[in-house]
Every structure is written in C-alpha cells, then in structure tokens.
Amino acid sequence: MNKQQLTYSIKNKALELGFESIGIAQAGFLEEEAPRLEKWLKNGYHGKMSYMENHFDKRLDPTKLVPGAKSIISLAYNYFPQQKQNSDTYKIAKYAYGKDYHFVLKDKLKELLKFITDNIGEIQARVFTDSAPVLERAWAKRAGLGWEGKHSLIIQKQKGSFFFLAEIILDVELAYDKPFTTDHCGSCTRCIDACPTEAILPDKMLNASRCISYFTIELRDELPVEMRGKFQDWIFGCDICQDVCPWNRFALPHKEEFFNPHPDLLNMTKQDWEEITEDVFREIFRKSAVKRTKYSGLKRNILFLKG
C-alpha cells in the first residue's frame, strides 16, 4: 500500500467511525505560532491555568511528543445537539450535554490507530483530544479543516464550529492536504460584540482569563465580584460566541448516541438547579465533562448568578 492508498483508506475509516472531517498535515515546527503563544502567555491571558506555561517546546514541535513524527492527522467530530435546554434556565455548554468527549473520541482514535497498524505494522504514534500540549487549531488549519474565527475556534463553511478536534501524531509519511488560508469571517464582529466579558480580542486572540468558560470551569477561587451580572445564566462553559456566529446556521445535529443528554437535563428549571443535591448531580452528570467542576464548583457558580 503506497502513501496515497494508505491516506485514502485512513480517511475512509475515519468517516466510518463518525468523524465529520479529516485532514493531514506534515509534521514540523510551528514557527508562526511561537510568537503568538509567547505573547498570549506573557500577557497573562491564561489566567491561573499555570499548566499552559508548561511544555512550551512540545506545543510547537510534535517530534517532541512522538520521536520521528512525520504526519499529523487532524479530525473533527460534531457535537451540535438535536434539542437544547429551556431558554429560561441556567445553562451549560452544549459540548457537555452527554458523555465526556475525551472518552468517546479517545476510543475512536484508538480504533483508527489500530486500523493503521493492522495495515502497515507497528509504528510510533500517539492519539490526542484536548489532552496534551498540542496546538489543535494550528494543526487543523494546516490540515485544511477550516479557518480560525475571530473567537479563535475553527470554523467550517458548511458545518460551523460546534465540533471537537482530535489528532493522531505518527512517524509515517502520508499524502498531505493543503492548509486552509482563506478567512471567511470578513468584517463580521458578532462574536466580539456579543461576549459579555470582553474576552475576545480583535486579533483572533482570546483572553481566557476573562472567558465565562474559564470562570465557571477552570477557576477554583471565588468568582470576581466585577463579573457579577455578566454570565447570562451560564454555569458551566459558554456558547455565546458560537451561538451568534452566522456560520453556525449550517450546523446539523450530531449522530452520536453518547452525546445525548440525560433525560432530566433539558427540562431542568432554575429552581431545579438551585435545589440540586450531590446525589442528583452524580446521577445526571455521571459520565459528563461537567464533573470537572465538581458539585461544589457548580453550586458556587449557581449562587454567584443567583446573587
């Protein structure tokens, strides 16, 4: 099997596993991203996420994650839901409606990697989905999956931005896709204008230390008083910048059973959230990404919004 045939078979298998899109880039040092990452850290846009300061070199050079790396397979997996929460309730980000995506995607990535090794034998490779120092969006652009929106997320013309990114880094040469170089945001600033905490900066850089997702998930301290009244009922994550993006009018519901929400979630009222017990929390979010904030963190967020 030559590299064109292998690449073709990998892409077909990825689509068979449910991935929406797949592209492949040649591994190499991310020279253009180095000064951007350095500036982002220097300005303190990572807030108290100190882990972002670690492994600077690994974030820019995939060969430090997989010795001899030659290719980066970038994949997109849809999570846009069929049904959404009631409008007048406390909200969680759509990506967290169902089972934690780390587990769902990791299993699919491992299956795809097994398919590769079954065809060509043992190789040096690792799979990632928001779980290691990998600049996912940079590789997605290089692999031709889409462009970086002003909210810093990858957007695809016919699918919007409600999808997870995942990667396989491997020491196998494959047929590479052309990088995505066209920006289709134009003069639109809806995401910038809609962000209530002014976290989205004009140069496609996100000040994560002002992002609602950062406050409701990452920050372990007390929420800052100056942010009171700005969360617009979000208690875990935030979808504002994606919800207002015109490209997401093309988003279609996912077909992943594991991403379907617990039956009780979509109908929960504000009172239900305010009275949620730890047992109910454990039941509804048993395998959900919401467990990351823990029961105490969720209650903190609800109390902050309640005032």
Is residue 181 a part of any domain in this protein? no
**Could you tell me the pTM of the whole model?**
0.96
Pairwise CA distance, residues 191 & 138, whole Å = 20
Counting every residue, how long is the chain?
Answer: 307
pLDDT surpassing 90 at residue 229:
yes
In a domain, 183, yes or no: no
Are 44 and 86 found together in one domain? Answer: yes
- Within a domain: residue 177? no
Q: Give me the pLDDT at residue 198, please.
A: 97
Residues 139-155: pLDDT tens digits? 999 999 999 999 999 99
296 with 162, same domain?
no
Give the per-residue pLDDT at 307: 83
Q: Could you tell me if 237 and 107 lie in one domain? A: no
99 and 237 inside one domain: no
Q: Are residues 95 and 207 in the same domain?
A: no
Q: What range defines the domain where residue 278 resides?
A: 190-246+262-306
Q: Alpha carbon of 65 to those of 26, 54, 171: distances in Å?
A: 15, 13, 11
Mean pLDDT over all residues of the chain? Answer: 96
Confidence of residue 127 (pLDDT cuts 50, 70, 90): very high
Q: What is the mean pLDDT of residues 87-95?
A: 96
In a domain, 41, yes or no: yes
CB-based contacts of 108, cutoff 8 Å, min separation 6: 17, 18, 19, 77, 166
Q: Which percentage of the chain shows pLDDT scores above 70? A: 100
pLDDT at position 232 over 90:
yes
Write down the pLDDT at residue 58.
95
d(CA 117, CA 293) in angstroms, rounded, equals 37
Is 176 a domain residue? Answer: no
**Does residue 36 belong to any structural domain of this protein?**
yes
Residues 60 and 164 in one domain: yes
- Kindly state whether residues 111 and 199 are assigned to the same domain: no
Q: For residue 21, give the nearest of 181, 171, 175, 163 by alpha carbon.
A: 163
Q: Are residues 129 and 37 in the same domain?
A: yes
Annotated active-site residue in 130, 171, 243, 272: 130
Total of domains in the chain: 2
Among 170, 204, 227, the domain-final residue is 170
Q: What is the pLDDT confidence band of residue 132, given thresholds at 50, 70 and 90?
A: confident
Residue 73, domain member (yes or no) = yes
Q: Are 84 and 94 in contact (CB under 8 A)?
A: yes
The reply to whether 140 and 16 lie within a common domain is: yes
Is the pLDDT at 1 greater than 90? The verdict is no
271 and 124, same domain (yes or no): no
Residue 227 covered by a domain: yes
In the predicted structure, residue 239 carries a pLDDT above the cut 90: yes
DSSP for 262-285, please give it: PTTGGG--HHHHHT--HHHHHHHT
Q: Is the dihedral of CA 168, 169, 173, 177 positive or negative?
A: positive
pLDDT band, residue 180 (cuts 50/70/90) = very high
239 tagged catalytic: no
Judgement on whether residues 22 and 157 belong to the same structural domain of the protein = yes
Domain end call among 105, 137, 170:
170
Angle at 38 between CA 37 and CA 42, to 5 degrees: 120
Q: Are 110 and 215 in contact (CB under 8 A)?
A: no
Last residue of some domain: 170, 201, 220? Answer: 170
- Is residue 220 domain-shared with residue 137, that is, in the same domain? no
Instruction: Report the pLDDT value the prediction gives residue 202, as an integer from 0 to 100.
Output: 83
Of the candidates 11, 3, 1, the one whose C-alpha atom is nearest the C-alpha of residue 174 is 3
Mean pLDDT in residue range 282-292: 95
∠ CA 249-266-164 to the nearest 5 degrees?
50
